[in-house]
Amino acid sequence: MTQMTKIKAQQKNKPLTISEMEVNSKKRIAVITSEFKKGFAFIRNYPKSVTFFGSTRFKQNNPYYKKARQIAETLSRAGFAVVTGGGPGIMEAANRGAVDGDGKEHSIGLCIKLPREQTTNPYVMRGIEFEYFFSRKVILSFSAEAYIYFPGGFGTLDEFFEIITLIQTGKIEKVPIILVGNDYWKPLDAFFKKTLYKKNGTIHKDDMKLYTITEDQKEILKIVKNAPLRRE
């Protein structure tokens, strides 16, 4: 690769400036509109579904990977489609569990296109690709009867706070939020209670009822089964 080729590659993959965002804005808006349309049309095919979130870094020998796979298999056998972002780690574990449970029918991926990277895990049996993270995120926000979060990094926490804020503010229907991993989620729960609620009064006590922290697979299945189907 020549020096000029390297420079062009770096320029292509660097974050856009405001001026660069303005270029071809009509084309960009058309792509975004198309992604919303195809995303909602796609997810309507799965009226009973559960979306999994979690770290992309967990390998198959990780306890959380194993647990995500087990839970996804149980839900798949119960007739639920398992929806993920289609990537590695917890997403792969969930898609893999769905394949274990009911073959190709229930393993769904809402995948993202990234330059020079193969991001879709091999267990996604049915899926679509998105050019933009935020349009994919919108579809993920409306994609399930329940959301299951495993430990993760900034991306997982971003997705958790996005969903819980949408529910808290009434922008989407109340949907069960299940947090798996006591060691990871209990400290955050304590922060909510002590710092946000008791010390500063920045949340209501009922806001802490919007999520359930559990590692019990039977309880998770019960919560999901009792959740109402999302309205069209």
Record the pTM: 0.88
Among the listed residues 137, 140, 149, the one whose alpha carbon sits nearest the alpha carbon of residue 52 = 149
- Digits of tens for pLDDT over the chain (232 positions)? 454 444 344 445 677 777 777 777 888 889 999 999 999 999 999 989 999 999 999 999 999 999 999 999 999 999 999 999 999 999 999 999 999 998 788 999 999 887 666 579 999 999 999 999 889 988 988 878 999 999 999 999 999 999 999 999 999 889 999 999 999 999 999 999 999 999 999 999 999 999 999 999 999 999 999 998 877 6
CA–CA separation, 121 vs 232, rounded Å?
Answer: 29
Residue 32 tokens read as 């975004």
CATH code, 26-225: 3.40.50.450
Q: Exposed/middle/buried for 128, CB within 10 Å: 0-12, 13-18, 19+?
A: middle
Please state, in angstroms and rounded to a whole number, the distance separating the CA atoms of residues 200 and 202: 5
Query: In the 8-state DSSP scheme, what is residue 195?
Result: I
